[in-house]
Structure 1
Amino acid sequence: MEVDTTANVWTMMIGAGPVVKLVLIMLVVFSILCWTVILAKIKRFRQARLGNENFARLFWESPSLTHAYNHARIMPETPMAGVFLEGYKELKRLQKCPKPSDTAIGLRVWLETLERSLNKGIQEELAAMERTLPFLATTGNAAPFIGLFGTVWGIMRSFHSIGLKGSASLATVAPGISEALVATAAGLAAAIPAVIAFNGFMSWMGQMEIQLQGFSNDFLNTVERQLLHGKETSQEPT
């Protein structure tokens, strides 16, 4: 029975009108692109998660920020390393500036400047991770309506055929209606995975933002201790 149903669906798709066929082709393309994005993003988020865990361990094990920098610069695909590099480079620029006479004010200014740089790094890393995700949202929103358009068009075509034949029997109406409904099914088939994946990825993005913000605070605490002692100190979790 399942084989017959599948064969019937293919038969209806082949026998559909040109507009419905165009709609189905569009939805198939959307679906293929969506699954390409989904699989690529699953791989990317997994790499980012493992990379963040690895860099966090290396950061706390490093005897100084310079050692942590040497690890970070060879981990370009790791968001946490990217945030660290943004903060470390800003710290080096600040160290070249004349030191203010008021140490307390100078420390506060340095930390505020570093915080802005770290926040910039976080936003850049999140933007990179979020790239191509809007396509999933677009597909989730648009695909059902594209499918609905194909369905409405198919039903209009079916009623037009009924008018020409002058008969409204089930045998006359059913083939056209079922052909039209295939477009709605195709739209939902493209939209449902896209919506589920988009929501899942956005949840992961939120978790990553919290993780990167926590690391940013750890970095600022480490730098503050370093500035108070006047030298680089070993990193130990606070």
Structure 2
Amino acid sequence: MEAQTDLSMITLFLRADFVVKAVMIALMCASVWSWAIIFEKIRRLTWLNRHARDFEEQFWSGGPLDDLYDRIGKNAHDPMTAIFVAAMREWRRSIERSRNEAPSLKTSIAQRIERVMQITSEREVESIEARMGFLASTGSVSPFIGLFGTVWGIMNSFHAIGMSKNTSLAVVAPGIAEALFATALGLVAAIPAVIAYNKLSTDIDRYAKRLEIFSGEFAAIVSRQLDERR
């Protein structure tokens, strides 16, 4: 009798139907993976913003950009540095090829550099956004998966009641509790995923805007230097 009234989470899981157990396991795995993504994204965004701040200090320090490019070389470990390296590489290649070109062709150099920065920025932001879709899917689908487990569990409970013809609370409560536990797990998986997705999306958009501003500022510098070369 005591075992029948034990409503601990472990007991609810062990007593659950196979389908309900599968739902619970899926939701627990989704929750664990969501938290892993959340912590990884928080850590990475913190690291990216710190490195962006350090690079901006070097970029606006007044030193020659060629010297900064030579120091960085191929060690572009963050998106802002990668944008700078890609633009400087294209700048040097284009300048070598266009020393004797007409001014109209020099104008295309600025356009190519802007395009290189745009492509690099989009590729880097896409890398940062990786696995964000899983958080969105977890937040939107998990409650329904939990609800499916609940409906299935309640159906089994009513079937057991019909077979035993016993409607006492002591008999009904464990089965209903098992079913509702699936809904609870669905909410446990969904709520943090939704909150984290909204917060991380905002932070990523803010960082992408930071890259866009830097690209625009660097494009203005390139355009100004091309004008001085004419």
Same fold (TM over 0.5): yes
Using the TM superposition, give the Cα deviation of residue 141 of structure 1 relative to its aligned residue in structure 2, in angstroms: 1.9
Query: What does residue range 34-183 of structure 1 map to in structure 2 within 5 Å?
Result: 34-73=34-73, 75-99=75-99, 102-103=102-103, 105-183=104-182
The letter for the 2-side match of 1:33 is W
The unaligned stretches of length 5 or more in structure 1 are 1-5, 232-238
The letter for the 2-side match of 1:26 is A
The letter for the 2-side match of 1:189 is V
Q: Deviations over 1:169-201 (max 9, x none)?
A: 333322211110000100110111111111111
The letter for the 2-side match of 1:214 is I
Q: How many equivalent residue pairs?
A: 225
* Aligned residues: CA RMSD: 2.0
Query: What does residue range 1-40 of structure 1 map to in structure 2 within 5 Å?
Result: 8-40=8-40
Name whichever of 150-159 and 71-80 sits farther off.
71-80
Q: Deviations over 1:19-60 (max 9, x none)?
A: 111111111111111111111111100000001011011111
Using the TM superposition, give the Cα deviation of residue 151 of structure 1 relative to its aligned residue in structure 2, in angstroms: 0.7
State how far apart, in whole Å, the 2-side matches of 1:108 and 1:209 are. Answer: 26
Which runs of at least 4 in structure 1 moved beyond 4 Å after TM superposition?
A: none
Q: Is the 8 A contact 2:98 2:105 kept in 1?
A: no
User: Could you say which residue in structure 1 is the equivalent of 2:229?
Assistant: 230
Using the TM superposition, give the Cα deviation of residue 229 of structure 1 relative to its aligned residue in structure 2, in angstroms: 2.5
Q: Aligned in 2, Cα 1:73/1:136: closer, same or farther, shift over 3 Å?
A: farther
Using the TM superposition, give the Cα deviation of residue 102 of structure 1 relative to its aligned residue in structure 2, in angstroms: 3.8
State how far apart, in whole Å, the 2-side matches of 1:34 and 1:80 are. Answer: 27
State how far apart, in whole Å, the 1-side matches of 2:186 and 2:154 are. Answer: 16
Query: What does residue range 180-191 of structure 1 map to in structure 2 within 5 Å?
Result: 180-191=179-190
